Structures are given as C-alpha cells and as structure tokens.
A and B are shown apart, each in its own frame.
Chain A
C-alpha cells in the first residue's frame, strides 16, 4: 500500500487529476451572464417595481380603502384620504410608497380590491439619492425615473 502511494506521488497522479478537472472546465462554456448586455428571462409573476393603474379617463383607480397599507408587513405604504361631502366617498389625497423598505412580497397587489397597485417585472431600480426612492402617486403611475446605464 505504501509503495503504491509513493509511486502515485512520484508520478503526480493526484496533481494531474486536478489539472485535468480545471482543463475540462476551461474548455466548457461559461455559465455567467454578461449582465447589461444579456439578461436572464423574467417570468410573468416576477415581483418588481410597483405601479398604480389608472382608469380610461386617466384618473387613479385607487379607492383609498387603505387595505394595502394595513397589509404591508413593513409599513412602506402611506394612504391619505378625505371624505367627499357630496358623494360620501373616500377620495385619495396622497399616496406614498417607500421603495427603500419594500420587500416585494406582493401582499398589496393581492389584497387590492380594484387591481390598482401592481408589481411589474422591472427590477432595475437603482438611484443616486435616497429621497428618489420615496415615490408619490404620479411617479407610481408613470413609473420611477430610471438611471440608464451608458457604456
């Protein structure tokens, strides 16, 4: 047994085995993705940047029910509303979505009775300033202003 070990050490058997492993992986295809150039496939149910839907008149679909804010596990949604004295309905006055805290669980989307808040498949949401992550209603409707990567 010891003789066998010695022979394999002298002939670098283990070392050659290791070298062959690395050589094989060198001639195989790379598994990495060249990110800004190529992107991996995003599935339909991906939970990305939130958007607020509008109706055909361009008005928000939100009925200020406050369910999204109540359901949010991190409390990143603030809904402010007041009652319209004529129709006796709650009208949205302010809607704030704090992207810094959002964990993209999708509970707001699930609970929304009018399908107003939705999570899109966009995932490139980096900004230079922290205050740019706090989105108001108009920003949520047309989507965040994005910083485009320039080569």
Chain B
C-alpha cells in the first residue's frame, strides 16, 4: 500500500513538474532567442513576462475547437493524444535522482532493466501520432509535413540508436540507473570516452525533435505549420506540449547517458563543499544546459535542405555511429583479454 502511494505521489510530482517545465521552456525559448536577437522577448504579462506561458496556455484551452469537415474525425482526435501520451510516458524510466534520492524514496518512478531500449521504443511510437495527424487532416500541407517528419525521424533514429550503443557497451546494462552507476564507478562521464557518440546523439536528438536547423517538418516558410496546420485550440496544445516534452526527454537521456545523470561534477574536488545539493538539482542543471544549447542552435543556424538532411543522416552519422560502435567493442574486448 505504501509502495503504491509513493509511486502515485512521484507520478503526480513528476507530471506536474514536467508540464510546468514544458510551459516554461517556451518562455525560456522566447527569452533566449529574444536576447540573442538583441531584443527582450516577452515583458508585459507578469514580471518580465513570467506569466506569459500561463496566458498562452489559457488562450489555447478556451479557443474554439475546430475539426475540418473533410477530416477523418476519429483519427484527427486520436493523433495528438497518441503523440502526447508517448512523449510523457517516457518520463517513467528517466532517473531524476539516484536510488537514495527524493529523500530515500528513489529518484525515479521505475528502474527497468531494459530502460533505455524502452525509452527509444516509446519515443518512436510518437511518430505514429504525427503521421496520423497529418493524414487525418486531409489537407496537403499537413500531409507533406508529416511525410517529411516521419522520413526524418525514421532515418535519424537509426543513427541515434547506434550512437547510444557505445555507452551501453561501456556500462554493460540497458538500465538508466545502472548506466549512471557505471559512470560513477568509472570515475569519468561517458561523454569523454564516447565523444563521437555524444555528438552524433546530440545532432540526432535535434533532428528527432524537429528542431532548427532540422525543422523541415514544420518549416513555416514552406509548409505553414507542418503536420499540425489544421489543429487549433486544445489539440494543438497537445502537439505543442508533446514536442517540447520530447525536447526535455532527449536532453534528459543525453544528461543521463553521457553526462552522468544525477552525479556531481568533480566529486573529489567539489565533493566536500557541494554534497548538500541533492542529485536532481545536478540533473536539472545538465538538462537545462542541453535545452539552452537547443535554443542557441535555433537562434544561430538556418534550415537544412531536405536532401542535405538525408545525406547527413545516412551518409555521415550512420557510418560514424557504426564505426564508433565497432571501435568501442574492440577496445572493450581488448581490455577484457
């Protein structure tokens, strides 16, 4: 009974925290990109525009819900829910803190021994939501956007999956908690021995979440809004939340697998002074760093052409990921012998 209560409380806390995080990620995006363009971003709603995401959310919720007459109604309604559900389901397996974290209750909802595999699998089910949404709208831009999106996601998932194989080999486990523990035991975070995999993972992560410079599926200048062109109001909000939740997911996986999750940097030097800081703060800082880099990249680089996108994915990242995997496994084999 107590176990159930703990899990429910954890789910509620994490769900609330992620929803709020997603809302404030949009605020962060507008602020960071605003400052990078030498302007201020939202300033009017609340102190320095801090209530802006709440106002935006409220606006989306009370907007009229439009379902196009020519659309496939059931699929049209179902698609954003699929997208949203799978974007949030992933957080079940992400360790926000160590097993002793969250004041002894364990800093994660569940630690599955195939955690990373599960996350990658669930994240790719989200693609179904995108293509269903694009198809069910029965309109040309959403269809084109969803086709592009799916082509992009499928081709980058391969390289991404191969890139995270490197750290998995080093850790010898698919469990997220074990991967972090392996980094603690090794004394160095996996982004040092797996720098190639780290870069590949990050580029693929940007492409996976349809962010600039790989934001072809929702290229405003070409496709209006991509797969969610026909969506408005609350259904659009679901897609929007899913997209930003995916950003946080990719950052969280990167922080866990490559940057040591809840671990403290330089524990031998900083350990005595900063040990009072709980692990989830370090984790949040790492995730924040990745999110900032996301926004930074968006403010800096123009969009790729579609053939360039495919060329990068299949001709550069995939061979590199395979080479990295081979080299890593040979080195591990050599060290074991």
Given A26-B32, A26-B35: A32 and B40 within 8 A (CB)? yes
CB closest chain-A residue, reference B213:
A15
Question: Of A19, A21, A27, A30, which one neighbours B39 at CB under 8 angstroms?
Answer: A30
Q: State which residues 291-328 of B face A: CB under 8 Å.
A: 296-297, 299-301
Asked if B296 and A23 make an inter-chain contact with CB atoms under 8 angstroms apart, the answer reads yes
CB closest chain-B residue, reference A17:
B300
Given A18-B301, A26-B32: A32 and B39 within 8 A (CB)? yes
Chain A residue numbers with a CB within 8 Å of B186 are: none
Asked if A30 and B296 make an inter-chain contact with CB atoms under 8 angstroms apart, the answer reads no
Give the complex CA separation of A23 and B33 in angstroms.
10
Asked if B300 and A32 make an inter-chain contact with CB atoms under 8 angstroms apart, the answer reads no
Chain B residue numbers with a CB within 8 Å of A28 are: 38
The count of residues in chain B whose C-beta lies closer than 8 Å to any C-beta of chain A is 15
Give the complex CA separation of A26 and B38 in angstroms.
6
Give the complex CA separation of A34 and B37 in angstroms.
15
A147 contacts chain B at the CB level, 8 A cutoff: no
B281 contacts chain A at the CB level, 8 A cutoff: no
CB closest chain-A residue, reference B34:
A30
User: Taking the nearest CB of chain A, how far is it from the CB of B145, in angstroms?
Assistant: 26
User: Taking the nearest CB of chain B, how far is it from the CB of A142, in angstroms?
Assistant: 32
Give the complex CA separation of A22 and B37 in angstroms.
8
Asked if A26 and B36 make an inter-chain contact with CB atoms under 8 angstroms apart, the answer reads yes
Asked if A25 and B38 make an inter-chain contact with CB atoms under 8 angstroms apart, the answer reads yes
Asked if B300 and A22 make an inter-chain contact with CB atoms under 8 angstroms apart, the answer reads yes
Chain A residue numbers with a CB within 8 Å of B43 are: 34
Give the complex CA separation of A25 and B301 in angstroms.
15
Chain B residue numbers with a CB within 8 Å of A1 are: none
Give the complex CA separation of A19 and B297 in angstroms.
7
A6 contacts chain B at the CB level, 8 A cutoff: no
A42 contacts chain B at the CB level, 8 A cutoff: no
Asked if B300 and A18 make an inter-chain contact with CB atoms under 8 angstroms apart, the answer reads yes
Chain B residue numbers with a CB within 8 Å of A31 are: 38-39
Give the complex CA separation of A21 and B300 in angstroms.
8
Given A22-B299, A32-B38, A32-B40, output 6 extra A-B contacts at Cβ < 8 Å. A22-B36, A23-B296, A25-B36, A27-B35, A30-B39, A151-B44
B-side residues, CB < 8 A to A, are 32, 34-40, 43-44, 296-297, 299-301
